[in-house]
Amino acid sequence: MCSCIAVPSPCRPQPTVSSHVSKLTHDDLKEMLDSNKDSLKLEAMKRIVAMIARGKNASDLFPAVVKNVACKNIEVKKLVYVYLVRYAEEQQDLALLSISTFQRGLKDPNQLIRASALRVLSSIRVTIIVPIMMLAIKEAASDMSPYVRKTAAHAIPKLYSLDPEQKDQLIEVIEKLLADKTTLVAGSVVMAFEEVCPERIDLIHKNYRKLCNLLIDVEEWGQVVIINMLTRYARTQFLNPNINESLLEEGSSGDKKFYEKEKKADALAMAKRKPYVMDPDHRLLLRNTKPLLQSRNAAVVMAVAQLYFHLAPKAEVGVIAKALVRLLRSHSEVQFVVLQNVATMTIKRRGMFEPYLKSFYIRSTDPTQIKVLKLEVLTNLANETNISTILREFQTYIKSMDKDFVAATIQAIGRCATNIGEVRDTCLNGLVQLLSNRDELVVAESVVVIKKLLQMQPEKHSDIIKHMAKLTDNIQVPMARASILWLIGEYCEHVPKIAPDVLRKMAKSFTNEEDIVKLQIINLAAKLYLTNSKQTKLLTQYVLNLAKYDQNYDIRDRARFIRQLIVPTEKSGALSKYAKKLFLALKPAPVLESPFKDRDHFQLGSLSHLLNAKAGGYQELPDWPETAPDPSVRNVEVKESVRAVGTVTCRDTRAPWSSEEEERKQERKSKKSKKPKSESESNSEEDEESESDSSPSESEESEAEVKKKKKHLQRSNVSKHKHKVIAMTMSCPVFLTLQTISPSSALKNFELLHRITGEGLSVDYCFSRQPFSPDANMVAVQMQFTNNGAADTKNLHIEDVKLQSGMRVKEFPEIELLPAGETATAVLGIDFCDSTQAANFQLCTHAKKFFVSIQPPVGELMRPVFLTENEFKKEQGQLMGMNEIAEKLTLDAKCRNEHAIVQRVTAAANLSRVPCGSDREFAGRTVTSSSLVLVTVATKEEGAAQLTVNCEKMVIGTMLVKDILLALTQ
Bridge-partner residues for 797, per DSSP?
844
- Residue 512 CB partners (closer than 8 Å, separation 6+): none
Residue 457 has pLDDT above 80, yes or no: no
Residue 522 forms part of a structural domain: yes
Strand order in the sheet with 649-651: 649-651, 749-753, 761-767, 779-787, 823-831, 808-810
* 791 and 905 housed in the same domain: no
Out of 23-27, 832-836, 843-847, least confident range: 23-27
Distance in angstroms (rounded) separating the CA atoms of residues 73 and 40: 12
Residue 201 forms part of a structural domain: yes
Residue 684 has pLDDT above 80, yes or no: no
Other CB atoms within 10 Å distance of the CB of residue 453: 23
End-to-end CA, the chain? 67
Residue 468 forms part of a structural domain: no
Give the per-residue pLDDT at 224. Answer: 94
Give the per-residue pLDDT at 23. Answer: 64
Bridge-partner residues for 783, per DSSP?
765, 826
Pairing of the two strands 793-802 and 779-787? unpaired
Containing structural domain, residue 179: 26-239
Residue 61 forms part of a structural domain: yes
Contact (CB, 8 A) for 114 and 145: yes
Give the per-residue pLDDT at 474. Answer: 76
Distance in angstroms (rounded) separating the CA atoms of residues 389 and 913: 60
Q: Looking at residues 265-291, what average pLDDT do you find?
A: 74
CA distances from 791 to 474, 503, 620, 815, 857 (A): 93, 100, 51, 15, 35
Of 239, 259, 292, which one is at a domain's C-terminal end? 239
Of 183, 206, 239, which one is at a domain's C-terminal end? 239
* 128 and 231 housed in the same domain: yes
Amino acid identity, position 234? A
Give the per-residue pLDDT at 196. Answer: 93
Give the per-residue pLDDT at 97. Answer: 76
Give the chain's domain count: 4
| Residue 943: band (very low, low, confident or very high) from pLDDT cuts 50, 70, 90 | confident
| Residue 64: band (very low, low, confident or very high) from pLDDT cuts 50, 70, 90 | confident
CA 879 from centre of chain: 44
Task: Identify which has the larger pLDDT, 145 or 247.
Answer: 145
Out of 44-53, 82-91, 137-146, 901-910, least confident range: 82-91
Residue 828 forms part of a structural domain: yes
* 73 and 218 housed in the same domain: yes
Contact (CB, 8 A) for 50 and 61: no
Residue 658 forms part of a structural domain: no
Out of 23-27, 157-161, 219-223, 249-253, least confident range: 249-253
CATH of the domain at 883: 3.30.310.10
Distance in angstroms (rounded) separating the CA atoms of residues 710 and 963: 42
Give the per-residue pLDDT at 777. Answer: 84
Q: Is the dihedral of CA 392, 393, 399, 404 positive or negative?
A: negative
Give the per-residue pLDDT at 225. Answer: 94
Amino acid identity, position 472? T
Give the per-residue pLDDT at 286. Answer: 93
| Residue 602: band (very low, low, confident or very high) from pLDDT cuts 50, 70, 90 | confident
* 146 and 221 housed in the same domain: yes
Burial label for 837, CB within 10 Å (0-12, 13-18, 19+), is middle
* 836 and 920 housed in the same domain: no
Amino acid identity, position 547? A
CA 202 from centre of chain: 21
Distance in angstroms (rounded) separating the CA atoms of residues 697 and 716: 25
Contact (CB, 8 A) for 822 and 784: no
Amino acid identity, position 161? S
CATH of the domain at 56: 1.25.10.10
Task: Please state, rounded to an integer, the average pLDDT across all residues of the chain.
Answer: 78
CA distances from 278 to 95, 234, 443, 531, 892 (A): 55, 12, 55, 65, 12
* 836 and 864 housed in the same domain: no
* CA angle 589–595–597, rounded 5-degree value: 90
Strand order in the sheet with 793-802: 815-818, 793-802, 839-844, 849-854
Residue 150 has pLDDT above 90, yes or no: yes
Biggest CA-to-CA distance, the chain: 132
| Residue 749: band (very low, low, confident or very high) from pLDDT cuts 50, 70, 90 | confident
| Residue 18: band (very low, low, confident or very high) from pLDDT cuts 50, 70, 90 | very low
Bridge-partner residues for 921, per DSSP?
936
Residue 317 forms part of a structural domain: no
Residue 494 has pLDDT above 80, yes or no: no
Of the ranges 159-173, 232-246, 271-285, 424-438, which is most confident?
Answer: 159-173
Residue 66 has pLDDT above 90, yes or no: no
Give the per-residue pLDDT at 877. Answer: 87
- Residue 264 CB partners (closer than 8 Å, separation 6+): none
Contact (CB, 8 A) for 713 and 729: yes
Reduced DSSP (H G I as helix, E B as strand, rest coil) percent helix, strand, coil of the chain, to 5: 55, 10, 35
CATH of the domain at 823: 2.60.40.1150
Residue 563 has pLDDT above 70, yes or no: yes
Give the per-residue pLDDT at 370. Answer: 92
Residue 756 forms part of a structural domain: yes
Which among 306, 302, 357 is positioned nearest to 330, based on CA atoms?
A: 302
- Three-class SS of residue 843? strand
* 88 and 229 housed in the same domain: yes
Give the per-residue pLDDT at 672. Answer: 45
Give the per-residue pLDDT at 920. Answer: 84
Q: Is the dihedral of CA 348, 352, 357, 360 positive or negative?
A: negative
- Tell me the HSE value of 292 on the side-chain side, using a 13 A CA sphere: 32
Distance in angstroms (rounded) separating the CA atoms of residues 515 and 187: 57
* 950 and 819 housed in the same domain: no
Amino acid identity, position 882? M
Residue 253 has pLDDT above 70, yes or no: no
Q: Looking at residues 273-283, what average pLDDT do you find?
A: 79
Distance in angstroms (rounded) separating the CA atoms of residues 599 and 347: 10
Contact (CB, 8 A) for 247 and 204: no
Bridge-partner residues for 649, per DSSP?
751
Of 239, 270, 304, which one is at a domain's C-terminal end? 239
Distance in angstroms (rounded) separating the CA atoms of residues 617 and 157: 13
- Residue 408 CB partners (closer than 8 Å, separation 6+): 371, 372, 375
Long-range contacts of 630-636 (CB under 8 A, 24+ apart): 631/237, 631/279, 631/280, 631/281, 633/202, 633/205, 633/206, 634/205, 634/206, 634/208, 634/209, 634/281, 636/205, 636/206, 636/207, 636/209
- Three-class SS of residue 533? helix
Residue 734 has pLDDT above 70, yes or no: no
Contact (CB, 8 A) for 254 and 264: no
Burial 162-173 (b: 16+ CB within 10 A, else e): beeebeeebbeb
DSSP letter for 258, please.
I
Mind listing the pLDDT tens digit for each residue in 620-661? 888 888 888 888 888 875 444 333 333 333 333 333 333 444
Out of 563-567, 678-682, 876-880, least confident range: 678-682
Long-range contacts of 136-140 (CB under 8 A, 24+ apart): 136/102, 136/103, 136/106, 137/170, 137/173, 138/169, 138/173, 139/106, 140/106, 140/114, 140/115
pTM score: 0.58
Q: Looking at residues 714-735, what average pLDDT do you find?
A: 35
* 793 and 897 housed in the same domain: no
Give the per-residue pLDDT at 459. Answer: 65
* 794 and 936 housed in the same domain: no
Mind listing the pLDDT tens digit for each residue in 343-398? 999 988 888 899 899 999 999 888 989 999 999 999 999 888 888 888 888 888 88
Distance in angstroms (rounded) separating the CA atoms of residues 920 and 416: 59
Give the per-residue pLDDT at 177. Answer: 93
Pairing of the two strands 793-802 and 815-818? antiparallel
DSSP string spanning 459-510? GG-HHHHHHHHGGGGT---HHHHHHHHHHHHHTGGGSTTHHHHHHHHHHHTG
Residue 682 has pLDDT above 80, yes or no: no
Give the per-residue pLDDT at 124. Answer: 82
* 840 and 891 housed in the same domain: no
Contact (CB, 8 A) for 227 and 614: no
Residue 667 has pLDDT above 80, yes or no: no
Distance in angstroms (rounded) separating the CA atoms of residues 945 and 961: 13
Other CB atoms within 10 Å distance of the CB of residue 508: 10
Distance in angstroms (rounded) separating the CA atoms of residues 487 and 587: 12
Other CB atoms within 10 Å distance of the CB of residue 430: 18
Stretch (H or E) spanning 948: strand 944-951
Give the per-residue pLDDT at 6. Answer: 39
Give the per-residue pLDDT at 737. Answer: 32
| Residue 138: band (very low, low, confident or very high) from pLDDT cuts 50, 70, 90 | very high
* CA angle 21–22–28, rounded 5-degree value: 40
Bridge-partner residues for 849, per DSSP?
844
* 42 and 73 housed in the same domain: yes
Which among 143, 232, 153 is positioned nearest to 195, based on CA atoms?
A: 153
Give the per-residue pLDDT at 834. Answer: 85
Give the per-residue pLDDT at 917. Answer: 61
